[in-house]
Amino acid sequence: MTSSEFSELKPMLEGVEPITLAEHTSRIEKAQMLMSQHGIDALILESGSGLEYITGVRWGRSERLLAAILPISGEPTYVCPAFEEARLREKLILGDDVRIWQEHESPYDCIAEILTEHGNQGARLGIEESTRFFVLDGIRSALPSVEMVSADPITVSCRGRKSRSEIALIQRAMDITAEAYRACIARLCAGMSQAEFFELSVAAHRAMGVQGHIDVQFGTSTAFPHGSSEMTYLKAGDVVLMDGGCRVEGYCSDISRTIVFGEPTPRQREIWKLEQDAQAAAFEAATNGSPMENVDAAARAILVNAGFGPGYQVPGLPHRTGHGIGLDVHEHYYVVQGNKTPLAPGMCFSNEPMIAIYGEFGVRLEDCVFMTEEGPRYFTEPSPSIDCPFQTV
């Protein structure tokens, strides 16, 4: 199916406002303030969401290093493959110092040169958590005097609380994916394969102007949190578990829904309602100032009281209750036992307790939450019932 066959869907990107230069500038200022507090002289950001967050440069990873070095004061300097310089310069909004390296040269010599110029050859260098080992090892070889430390106190602290602009972009992505769900659920039919539904979801998102998809599982494979490798085909009475999202200006959506194709059995209704109760309990526990682990504990308590678990045991909830969301679909802060980070306005995270019953079926409902001064709010309202996956609009 092509996007033209979703005649009811229209592009939904009108009025989208990208992150401004002023906001990127304020992010750099905050990062540098935190660097000063934590005794970090420079920050290395290789291509990925960390680089995009700080500099606005969106760049895919490859074996050729592209990175930004952010000093404790001033603008970032970029290290770039020589043949990519023109493309990089098209993307720059902050700083214009680009150091190139040819195919036979080492990018780590460029990094060493930059750090030496800043008087940081013996510096404490902050490394963003997703940095690949060969990058770290290359820097270490070129500058053995550099002390490399975790940049989490800077990067996680900066990204963990979203601005109004970020929340607006996540909201638009959620709205689009919710519409894709409605359109694709309406097209479920007996004999449909998982692959066919996936392609439907790609086309639905495309009709609204974005790239996105919805993964689906049918029947007993719904008990596996991320599905089975076996291809299945939809039949009457199957539990249908869907999980998907898209991106708007780099910011992610993430929604899960569970329904039954046909008339649900009493057992399916019972477990679905229990899942709904667990999700509601997690939401109620999300109060400003309380540790994030309380949200996980609240959802898990509902299931344990009903005879599931305890802990991560199956039948029950085999994973954490949620994850942060932003430029990465899974990012800090995580809704999990042991995370004592206090909830605060601007935090965004998924609320997705799951009930997995191997050999039978699984139920997961996922809606993402953002914290306000008044408490939690949903990006998408939870499912009213097993027969109605979305609130009517």
String of DSSP letters for 84-121: GHHHHHHH-SS--EEEEE-TTS-HHHHHHHHHHHTT-T
> Residues 121-151: pLDDT tens digits?
668 999 999 999 999 999 999 999 899 999 9
**Mean pLDDT value across the chain:** 96
Contact 248, 174 (CB under 8 A): no
**CA 8 to CA 184: how far, in whole Å?**
11
Q: Kindly report the number of other CB atoms within 10 A of residue 186's CB atom.
A: 8
Tell me the residue length of the chain: 393
Rounded to the nearest 5°, which phi and psi values hold at 145? -80, -10
Domains and CATH numbers, the chain: 21-159 (3.40.350.10), 164-378 (3.90.230.10)
Element (H, E) at 302: helix 293-305
| Percent of the chain surpassing pLDDT 70 | 98
DSSP 244-272: EEEEETTEE--EEEEEESSSPPHHHHHHH
C-beta separation of 326 from 166 below 8 A = yes
Q: Kindly indicate the confidence band of residue 392, based on its pLDDT and cuts at 50, 70 and 90.
A: confident
3-state DSSP assignment of residue 57: coil
Q: Where are the beta strands (DSSP E) in the chain?
A: 42-46, 67-71, 77-81, 97-101, 124-127, 147-150, 212-218, 239-248, 251-252, 255-260, 322-324, 331-335, 348-351, 354-357, 361-364, 367-372, 375-378
Integer Cα distance of 176 and 256 in angstroms: 14
Pairing type for strands 255-260 and 239-248 reads antiparallel
Six-digit token pair at 109? 């010599």
User: Tokens standing for 97?
Assistant: 């110092």
Look up residue 263 and give its two tokens: 């008339």
- Looking at residue 120, its pLDDT comes to 66
So what's the pLDDT on residue 147?
Answer: 93
Please give the pLDDT value at position 227.
84
Whether the predicted pLDDT of 244 surpasses 60:
yes
**Residue where the block lists tokens 């214009």:** 96
Q: Vertex 31, ends 27 and 37: CA angle to 5°?
A: 150
The predicted pLDDT at position 306 comes to 98
pLDDT of the residue at 393:
61
Identify any residues that bridge with 239 across adjacent strands, giving them in sequence order. 260
The answer to whether residue 97 scores a pLDDT higher than 80 is yes
User: Do the Cβ atoms of 239 and 262 come closer than 8 Å?
Assistant: no
Other C-beta atoms closer than 10 Å to the C-beta of 246 total 28
- Enclosing H/E stretch for 137: helix 133-142
For the stretch 118-134, what's the b/e string if a residue is b when 16 or more beta carbons lie within 10 angstroms of its beta carbon? bebeebebbbbeebeee
The model's pLDDT over 107-118, given as tens digits with 9 standing for 90+, comes to 999 999 999 887
Whole-number pLDDT of residue 391:
87
Phi, psi of 355, rounded to the nearest 5 degrees:
-115, 115
Please write the tens of the pLDDT for every residue from 348-388.
999 999 999 999 999 999 999 999 999 999 999 999 999 99
For residues 291 and 339, the answer to whether their CB atoms sit within 8 Å is yes
State how beta strands 147-150 and 124-127 pair.
parallel
